[in-house]
Amino acid sequence: MIKLKNKLVIKVLAFLMLIGLFGYIVYAEHPSKQTSTTQDQQSNVLRGQSYLDDVVKIYVPSTYNIDQPIDNSKYVDQSLEKFSNMFGGATSDDGTGAWIGDNKKLVKEKVTIVYSFTEKLDKNKINEVVAYAKDLRTEMKQSSISIEVNERMYFIE
């Protein structure tokens, strides 16, 4: 009787192990289920925390009159102040922009990206950012100034 009982236990354990292995294989082949679990865990960890849905960026060139290199810190500070007043805070990052010029050669330019995250991005705020970009374009004698709203780039002419 003990041998029969042990064999039954071994068979049940082997069966359960096979079910577990099958479940692992199915789970491993579906990364979307893993992502969902990670997102659920992240949601649980961040539940109740404040967050900001929207981001607005302005690309401050480092040239004046299109191609004359300048120190753009005055314009960066001006943009940081403008965005801080509009959205409650701002950050700047230095970068390099590039494009192919009329002569078919690469043109590179230093640029500073000033950006703010916000929870209240409405038509009035966007209009204010566009008006500021137009003023900056005129003041810096640029053909356009780039702004980005929620991952969409706009060239303000």
Rounded Cα distance between 133 and 82, Å, is: 11
For residues 82-111, give the mean pLDDT: 93
Per residue in 12-57, pLDDT (tens digit) is: 555 555 555 455 554 555 555 455 555 666 667 888 888 899 999 9
Rounded Cα distance between 80 and 124, Å, is: 19
Q: Is the pLDDT reported for residue 64 higher than 60?
A: yes
Per residue in 121-149, pLDDT (tens digit) is: 999 999 999 999 999 999 999 999 999 99
pLDDT winner (highest mean) among 7-11, 102-106, 142-146: 142-146
pLDDT for res 46 = 84
Q: Is the pLDDT reported for residue 4 higher than 60?
A: no
Rounded Cα distance between 142 and 61, Å, is: 9
- pLDDT bin (cut points 50, 70, 90) of residue 8 is low
Nearest to 72 by CA among 112, 109, 107: 112
Nearest to 115 by CA among 85, 142, 80, 151: 80
Rounded Cα distance between 38 and 46, Å, is: 12
pTM attached to this predicted model: 0.70
